[in-house]
Amino acid sequence: MNDLKNFDFVIYGATGFTGRLVVEYALKQYSNTEDISWAIAGRNIDKLNDLKTEMNLSDETGIIQVDSEDQSSIDNLVQQTKCVLTTVGPYQLYGDKIVKTCIASGTDYLDLCGEVWWMNKIISECSNQAKESGARIIFSCGFDSIPFDLGVLFVQEETMKRFNKYAPSVRGRVRVMNGEFSGGTAASMKATMGALKSNPELLNILINPYALCEGFQGPQQEDDTKPKYDDELETWVAPFFMAPINTRNIHRSNKLMNHIYGEDFMYNEMWISGPGDEGKAVADMIASANPIGGDDAPKPGEGPSREKRENGGYDVLFCADIDGQVVKASVTGDMDPGYGSTSKMITESVVCLLKDAIDLDGGIYTSASSLGSKLIKRLEDNAGLTFKVE
């Protein structure tokens, strides 16, 4: 059936801030050819036409008008493509019809979702149907959670080489992060707060590190909500605002890979703030701040300048603790995490899924459990990420 589709993938939300960056990267790296074909989609046909003209997209680049509330337009989108790449969030507001239509029709789907309760809902409602239809669904294909999910996989593979087994515990430690927070991330948090007001029971999902593990419950994880001193690294660490999504995806990866890290696997993710009293003060300040709240938070559709994106970057250290020893590896990115690097990561993910993971069965996946080392190679070759043993 997929051979009859007009396009390999469609970028839905192409005229939004992040969507435009995805189009820009796809144009640079994967111009429409016989080998790979893609289209742009969104709600406003005039904006799509303007984007096609502005970016000088080829005639082969299709335009599809889609409204997230209009089922017939969604059906039209899904019928034309092998995979939907959507940047249209919050997904709990705009994602239901699209992902469920993809699943029902056996069409692949990738997004940038970091909304745990919505992902939990789709996994519980649709996992079996995705397996039956052959649709490959991968959530969280941006800064949340690719560098972290693949970073754990990478350090664990190095641990396996050295010890012939995986580590029972990994610490993720953000050393550097330069860049603005995504307006979509802020909007998703706002939507989640709204959902919590009307359904307080969602809190039980949000606070559960195994919320995406379909009933599996492992050991209680280390507290990552308060500053603490990391004895091995000799530095203070502070809560990292994306740990609540990254941790859930990493535990789901472990489950989907038949618990290769062990059923008692521990993962702790925090932000390095420095040694001594000064490091403690910085950690306390980070813990009391809301990095994506307040008047300075970007609105959906807004984002940093090209200069700021290109001057951004990140560096995350992963420490695998095993038999009294530590295996260390790092993941770095060459652009700001929320926009520049994210747009490259999701584009490489869709190409990796379509070109390198042809034999992957239908199901709802994470990046590590579906694309793994194949995606690491693409990200290193094309997208400015570096995976390094330290």
Q: What is the pLDDT of residue 302?
A: 76
- Report the side by side order of strands in the sheet with 313-322: 228-230, 235-239, 266-274, 169-178, 313-322, 325-333, 385-389
Are residues 98 and 68 in contact, defined by beta-carbon separation less than 8 angstroms? Answer: yes
Residues ≥6 apart with Cβ < 8 Å to 294:
none
Distance (Å, whole) CA 218 – CA 163: 23
Are residues 76 and 84 in contact, defined by beta-carbon separation less than 8 angstroms? Answer: no
Write out the two tokens for 377. 């190679």
- Report the side by side order of strands in the sheet with 62-65: 62-65, 38-42, 7-12, 81-86, 108-111, 136-138, 363-365
Instruction: Give the domain CATH number at 115.
Output: 3.40.50.720
Chosen domain end from 291, 316, 335: 335
Residue 384: inside a domain? no
Measured between its terminal Cα atoms, the distance across the chain in Å is: 46
- Domain shared by 24 and 160, yes or no: no
Residue 83: inside a domain? yes
- Domain shared by 230 and 324, yes or no: yes
Chosen domain end from 335, 355, 379: 335
Q: At 131, phi and psi to the nearest 5?
A: -65, -40
- Domain shared by 232 and 121, yes or no: no
pLDDT in single tens digits along all 390 residues of the chain: 456 789 999 999 999 999 999 999 999 999 877 789 999 999 999 999 999 999 999 988 999 999 999 999 999 999 999 999 999 999 999 999 999 999 999 999 999 999 999 999 999 999 999 999 999 999 999 999 999 999 999 999 999 999 999 999 999 999 999 987 667 777 777 888 888 888 888 888 889 999 999 999 999 999 999 999 999 999 999 999 999 999 999 999 999 999 999 999 999 999 999 999 999 999 999 998 866 555 556 666 778 888 988 989 999 999 999 999 999 999 999 999 999 999 999 999 999 999 999 999 999 999 999 999 999 999 999 999 999 999
Q: What is the pLDDT of residue 1?
A: 46
Q: What is the pLDDT of residue 350?
A: 98
Distance (Å, whole) CA 108 – CA 82: 6
Residues ≥6 apart with Cβ < 8 Å to 170:
152, 155, 156, 261, 265, 266, 267, 268, 318, 319, 320, 321
- Domain shared by 131 and 204, yes or no: no
Residue 277: inside a domain? yes
- Domain shared by 38 and 175, yes or no: no
- Domain shared by 242 and 126, yes or no: no
Q: What is the pLDDT of residue 195?
A: 84
| Amino acid at site 331 | V
Are residues 1 and 106 in contact, defined by beta-carbon separation less than 8 angstroms? Answer: yes
- Domain shared by 67 and 153, yes or no: no
Are residues 55 and 23 in contact, defined by beta-carbon separation less than 8 angstroms? Answer: yes
Domain, as residue range, for 322: 146-335
Instruction: Give the C-alpha distances (Å, rounded to integers) separating 13 from 10, 256, 349.
Output: 9, 29, 17
Q: Does pTM top 0.75 for this prediction?
A: yes
Alpha-carbon torsion angle 139, 141, 142, 145, nearest 10: 70
Q: Tell me the angle at which helices 146-163 and 372-382 cross, rounded to the nearest 10 degrees.
A: 110
Residue 34: inside a domain? yes
DSSP 48-101: HHHHHHHTT--TTSEEEE--TT-HHHHHHHHHHEEEEEE----HHHHTHHHHHH
Residue 351: inside a domain? yes
- Domain shared by 274 and 358, yes or no: no
- Domain shared by 92 and 156, yes or no: no
- Domain shared by 358 and 216, yes or no: no
Specify the number of domains making up the chain.
2
Distance (Å, whole) CA 2 – CA 96: 22
Residue 151: inside a domain? yes
> Residue 3 has what DSSP assignment?
G
Residue 381: inside a domain? no
Residue 378: inside a domain? no
- Domain shared by 134 and 193, yes or no: no
- Domain shared by 270 and 346, yes or no: no
